[in-house]
Amino acid sequence: MDKKVAVLGGGNGAFAMASDLALQGFEIRMWSKYPDEFREIKKTHMIKVSGPLIQGEAKISVVTDRIEEAIRGADLICSPIPAFTQTSVAESLLPHIEDGQVIFLSPGTFGSYLMSKRLREMGCRKDIAIGETGTLPFLTRKMSPVESRIVVRACNLPTGVFPARKTEEAIEKIRAVFPSVHPVEDALSGALMNAGPVIHPPLIVLNTGPIENPAPYDIHNEGTTPGIRKIISLLDEERIAVREAFGYKPNHYPLEDYYDETRPNEWMYPRISKKLLMESRLWYEKIDYKHRYATEDIACGLAFLNSAADYIGAAIPVARSLLCLAGGGAGVDFMKTGRTLQSVGLSHLPIEELRERLREGF
Amino acid sequence: MDKKVAVLGGGNGAFAMASDLALQGFEIRMWSKYPDEFREIKKTHMIKVSGPLIQGEAKISVVTDRIEEAIRGADLICSPIPAFTQTSVAESLLPHIEDGQVIFLSPGTFGSYLMSKRLREMGCRKDIAIGETGTLPFLTRKMSPVESRIVVRACNLPTGVFPARKTEEAIEKIRAVFPSVHPVEDALSGALMNAGPVIHPPLIVLNTGPIENPAPYDIHNEGTTPGIRKIISLLDEERIAVREAFGYKPNHYPLEDYYDETRPNEWMYPRISKKLLMESRLWYEKIDYKHRYATEDIACGLAFLNSAADYIGAAIPVARSLLCLAGGGAGVDFMKTGRTLQSVGLSHLPIEELRERLREGF
- Per DSSP bridges, beta strands B147-153 and B46-50 are parallel
Say if residue A165 is in the same domain as residue A40.
Answer: yes
Residues A49/A20, Cβ–Cβ less than 8 Å: yes
pLDDT value at residue A194: 95
Residues B175/B158, Cβ–Cβ less than 8 Å: no
Is the backbone peptide bond immediately before A163 cis, with ω within 30 degrees of 0? yes
Say if residue A183 is in the same domain as residue A200.
Answer: no
Is the CB of B331 less than 8 angstroms away from the CB of A234?
A: no
pLDDT value at residue A1: 53
The CATH number covering residue B288 comes to 1.10.1040.10
DSSP letters along A273-342, please? HHHHHHHH-TT-----TTSHHHHTIIIIIIHHHHHHHHHHT---HHHHHHHHHHHHHHTS-HHHHS--TT
Of residues A274 and B116, the one with the higher pLDDT is B116
CA distances from A65 to A7, A58, A83, B28 (A): 12, 19, 20, 80
Residue A89 has pLDDT above 90, yes or no: yes
Say if residue B149 is in the same domain as residue B242.
Answer: no
A206 contacts in chain B (CB < 8 Å): 205-209, 325
Instruction: Give phi and psi for A179, each to the nearest 5.
Output: -65, -20
Average pLDDT of B89-101?
Answer: 97
Interface of B with A in 252-291 (CB under 8 A): 289
Is the CB of A227 less than 8 angstroms away from the CB of B321?
A: no
Residues B19/B53, Cβ–Cβ less than 8 Å: no
Instruction: Give phi and psi for A8, each to the nearest 5.
Output: -95, 135
Say if residue B91 is in the same domain as residue B220.
Answer: no
Residues B87/B115, Cβ–Cβ less than 8 Å: yes
The CATH number covering residue B157 comes to 3.40.50.720
pLDDT in tens, A295-341: 999 999 999 999 999 999 999 999 999 999 999 988 899 999 999 99
List the single residue in A208, A230, A234 with the smallest CB-CB distance to B206.
A208
pLDDT value at residue B193: 96
pLDDT averaged over every residue in chain A = 95
Nearest to B81 by CA among B298, B326, B295: B295
- Per DSSP bridges, beta strands A62-64 and A129-133 are unpaired
Is the CB of B328 less than 8 angstroms away from the CB of A230?
A: yes
- Distance from chain centroid for Cα A289: 18
Compute the nearest-CA separation of B284 from chain A (Å): 15
Say if residue B352 is in the same domain as residue B211.
Answer: yes
Residue A278 has pLDDT above 90, yes or no: no
Q: Which of A65-79, A344-358, B274-288, B318-332 has the lowest mean pLDDT?
A: B274-288
Is the CB of A234 less than 8 angstroms away from the CB of B322?
A: no
Nearest to A12 by CA among A149, A115, A187, A195: A149
Q: Considering all CA atoms of chain A, what is the largest pairwise distance in Å, rounded to the nearest integer?
A: 54
pLDDT value at residue A24: 96
Q: What percent of chain A has pLDDT over 90?
A: 91
pLDDT value at residue A249: 96
Residue after which a domain boundary falls, among B137, B152, B187: B187
Q: How many other β-carbons are positioned within 10 Å of the β-carbon of residue B261? A: 14
Average pLDDT of A192-202?
Answer: 95
Nearest to A90 by CA among A136, A122, A65: A122
Q: How confident is the model at residue A110 (pLDDT cuts 50, 70, 90)?
A: very high
Say if residue A152 is in the same domain as residue A20.
Answer: yes
Q: Which residues lie below 8 Å from residue A328, measured CB to CB, with a gap of 6+? A: B230, B231, B234, B318
Say if residue A285 is in the same domain as residue A350.
Answer: yes
CA of B233: which chain A residue's CA is closest?
Answer: A328
Task: Say yes or no: B228 contacts chain A, CB-CB below 8 A.
Answer: yes
List the single residue in B231, B318, B329 with the smallest CB-CB distance to A231.
B329
- Per DSSP bridges, beta strands B102-105 and A138-144 are unpaired
CA of B204: which chain A residue's CA is closest?
Answer: A206
Residues B154/B127, Cβ–Cβ less than 8 Å: no
CA distance A154 to A271: 10
Say if residue A116 is in the same domain as residue A244.
Answer: no
Q: How many other β-carbons are positioned within 10 Å of the β-carbon of residue A191? A: 32
Average pLDDT of A93-104?
Answer: 97
pLDDT value at residue B1: 53
Say if residue B169 is in the same domain as residue B122.
Answer: yes
CA of B224: which chain A residue's CA is closest?
Answer: A209
pLDDT in tens, B45-72: 999 999 988 999 999 999 999 999 999 9
Residue B324 has pLDDT above 90, yes or no: yes
Task: Say yes or no: A221 contacts chain B, CB-CB below 8 A.
Answer: no
Structure letter (DSSP) for residue A140: E
CA of B235: which chain A residue's CA is closest?
Answer: A328
- Helix, strand, coil shares of chain A, percent, nearest 5, are 45, 15, 40
Residues B194/A208, Cβ–Cβ less than 8 Å: no
Task: Say yes or no: B212 contacts chain A, CB-CB below 8 A.
Answer: yes
CA distance A106 to A78: 8
Domain count, chain B: 2
CA distance B26 to B342: 39
For B354, the domain range is 196-360
Residue A170, exposed/middle/buried by CB under 10 A (0-12, 13-18, 19+)?
buried
Average pLDDT of A79-104?
Answer: 97
CA distance A5 to B213: 44
pLDDT in tens, A20-60: 999 999 999 999 999 999 999 999 999 999 998 899 999 99
Q: Which residues lie below 8 Å from residue B156, measured CB to CB, with a gap of 6+? A: B180, B182, B253, B266, B267, B268
Is the CB of A212 less than 8 angstroms away from the CB of B205?
A: no
Say if residue B148 is in the same domain as residue B205.
Answer: no
Residue after which a domain boundary falls, among B127, B159, B187: B187
CA of A316: which chain B residue's CA is closest?
Answer: B324
List the single residue in A230, A289, A321 with the smallest CB-CB distance to B324.
A321
Task: Say yes or no: A319 contacts chain B, CB-CB below 8 A.
Answer: no
Say if residue A162 is in the same domain as residue A246.
Answer: no
pLDDT value at residue B277: 85
pLDDT value at residue A149: 96
pLDDT value at residue A58: 98
A217 contacts in chain B (CB < 8 Å): 209
Q: What percent of chain B has pLDDT over 90?
A: 91
pLDDT in tens, B231-271: 999 999 999 999 999 999 999 999 999 999 899 999 999 98
CA of A205: which chain B residue's CA is closest?
Answer: B206
Q: How confident is the model at residue A198 (pLDDT cuts 50, 70, 90)?
A: very high
pLDDT in tens, B182-214: 999 999 999 999 999 999 999 999 999 999 998
Q: What is the dihedral of CA B219, B220, B225, B230, to 10 degrees?
A: 110
ipTM, two decimals, is 0.90
Residue after which a domain boundary falls, among A166, A191, A216: A191
CA distance A142 to B38: 60
CA distance B97 to B126: 7
Task: Say yes or no: B221 contacts chain A, CB-CB below 8 A.
Answer: no
Residue type, A154: A
B326 contacts in chain A (CB < 8 Å): none
Is the CB of A328 less than 8 angstroms away from the CB of B222?
A: no
Average pLDDT of B302-323?
Answer: 97
Residue A352 has pLDDT above 60, yes or no: yes
Q: How confident is the model at residue B280 (pLDDT cuts 50, 70, 90)?
A: confident
Is the backbone peptide bond immediately before A156 cis, with ω within 30 degrees of 0? no
Task: Say yes or no: A325 contacts chain B, CB-CB below 8 A.
Answer: yes
Q: Which residues lie below 8 Å from residue A123, measured CB to CB, with a gap of 6+? A: A94
Say if residue B331 is in the same domain as residue B221.
Answer: yes
Q: What percent of chain B has pLDDT over 70?
A: 100
